[in-house]
Structures are given as C-alpha cells and as structure tokens.
Amino acid sequence: MAVGLSIANETASLPIASRLYLPGAWAQDPALRRKAKIPDGVGFQTKPQIALDQIRDAVATGTPAGVILADAGYGADGAFRSGLSGRGLDYVLGVRPTLSVWRPGETPLPPKAWSGTGRPPSLMRRSRDHRPLSAKAMAQELPADAWQSITWREGSNIDLASRFAAVRVRPASRDYNLTRPRAQEWLLIEWPEGDAEPLEHWLSTLSAEVPLRDLVATAKLRGRIERDYRELILKVAREDGAARDRPSRPRLSGEPFPNTPDRRVDRAGTASMFELIQLRCFVALAEELHFRRAAIAATRRSHR
C-alpha cells in the first residue's frame, strides 16, 4: 500500500508523490527485510508521518500550498493535525465519530488553585459535570435549524447534495495534558435526511467566516482524488495481470534481470522486491502525471 500526495481542483487531480508504506512487522523483522532486500536506510513510519514528509518536501520545492485534505486515518492523528498547523497549512480532514470535542463556547477547566507548596498546577482539567463529548454526540445535540441541504457538485445524472451542519469547537483529545486549550476549529458533519446517524465528520482550520457551502465543497474535493486514484490502481492491476501472462516475466529472487529496453534495473543488475514495488508505483505515477498534465493543459486551452 502506498501513501500518495496529489494537488487537485474541481476539474482534475495531479499526483505528485507516492511512497510505499512499510508495515512495522516488516521493518522490525531482519528475516523479512533480507528476503525483500529492504534498504538499510528504510525504517518504519506511520502513514501520517510519511504524508507529513511528502507535504514538507512539496512545499520546499515550491508546490503552491493549498488546503490539505485527507481521510479519517490521517485526521484522527493529532500529531498530523499539529504538524500541518505548525507549517501554517489549513486543512479539512476526516475524523472519526468518536473524536472528543468541547461544545461551542466551552473550554477545559483551568488548573487547580495553587496550595502554596510545591510546583503550581499548570494542566487543564475536566470534572464529572464538565466533560467533552464525541463528534457523533455533538451532531445528535444540534437543533433542526442547524442543518442545511447543500449541493456541492453537479453529477452526470443528478446533482450531488446532502444535509450538513458546521459548528466551531475545540478538539479535546487528551487536552488534560496541555496547559492551554486548543484553538477553535470547524466541526463539519454530514447527516443525510432519513439516515439513522451521521455519515461523515471533518475538522477544519479554515476561516471562521467561510460559508458552509465552500466548506462542504472543499471537504468533498477528496472525492475527485479518490476517483483518480482508483483509476490508477486499476491501471496498475491490469498491467500486472498482463505481465503475469508474459512467458519472459522477470523473477523477484534477486537474480539479474534481462537487459532489455523495457526492463529497469539497478546498477548491480538486480532488484529487490521492495525496490521493484516502489519502482512500479513511480512508473505508474509518472505515466499518470503525463496524462493528467495533458488533460489540464487541454482544459485550460478550451477556456481561453
């Protein structure tokens, strides 16, 4: 499985980075590392850590900084959210319904009063009667007039629309280890009419003045990237299937590959399984970049 970074607008998405995710079991098992010939310098990183590295590198090379979008696997990681904010990047990130937040206008309790001896207390507190609640519970507490029907994109057959609400909250996860409250963010919730429970939740650091329609459109832009990645995955799968049907398929055991124009090998004439998978990701990525650049250029010409 790879961690990918794309830039996108309403018209198209463009993948700009991809890195294979190495599971911790593989990274920490010498036998598996030898079998797959994983380079010594490659260690375990979580997917959010890989994504932060990709974003850092993209910004460093001059890629225009936009709003960062990611699913709940990344949005649930507080270090990932803090890493984005620390780089001055706004985000709209999916979060899990269990994420704890403070109700609008609420904050943790201040530190206990100093007794006059020892170190003065500095950590914020909760009490039995003053506690955060889950994002799902927050959605269930909202009044009926908090919800609006929003159309975010015209579909091929029908417009894409649903029911949304957004409130300003403070994320509360483990804030009893902090000395001051976290900043306010948007909690955006999608709860389709007639459904028994909310469908999706997001946290966003976009401006407090952003219209709900724009907030929804930004969150839903991930759909464009997901569709494009599905196409890329299917393309790689088709190529893999075709390669398996060829009688001269190269072996993955580390023996030399045939020196033919369509085979890419390292300087020693061998390739590890890990490197080969990485290579296939990047070859597919390069091809996808070419086609999507051409599509974006054609779109720009048609609008002139």
Q: What is the pLDDT of residues 133-175, one digit of tens each?
A: 999 999 999 999 999 999 987 666 778 899 999 999 999 999 9
> Is 289 a member of any domain?
no
Backbone angles phi, psi at 7, to 5 degrees: -105, 145
Residue tagged 């399984």 (tokens): 273
**Higher model confidence: residue 156 or residue 196?**
196
**pLDDT for 115:** 86
Structural domain of 151: 66-110+122-239
Q: Is residue 89 part of a domain?
A: yes
Evaluate whether residue 15 is within a structural domain.
Answer: no
Residue identified by tokens 């900084």 is 65
Return the SS3 of 234: helix
160, two tokens: 């894409």
The dihedral through the CA atoms of 196, 200, 201, 205 has a sign that is negative
Contact 247, 35 (CB under 8 A): no
The yes-or-no verdict on residue 6 having pLDDT over 80 is yes
Please answer whether residues 197 and 153 qualify as being in contact, where contact means their C-beta atoms are separated by less than 8 angstroms. no
**37 occurs within a structural domain:** no
On whether residue 102 sits in a domain, the answer given is: yes
Per the CB < 8 A criterion, the answer to whether 273 and 257 are in contact is no
- Helix runs in the chain, H state only: 24-27, 30-36, 47-60, 72-75, 78-86, 135-141, 212-220, 222-245, 273-302
Does the pLDDT value for residue 72 go beyond 90? yes
Q: In the chain, how many domains are there?
A: 1
Q: What is the longest distance spanned by two Cα atoms in the chain?
A: 82
In a domain, 290, yes or no: no
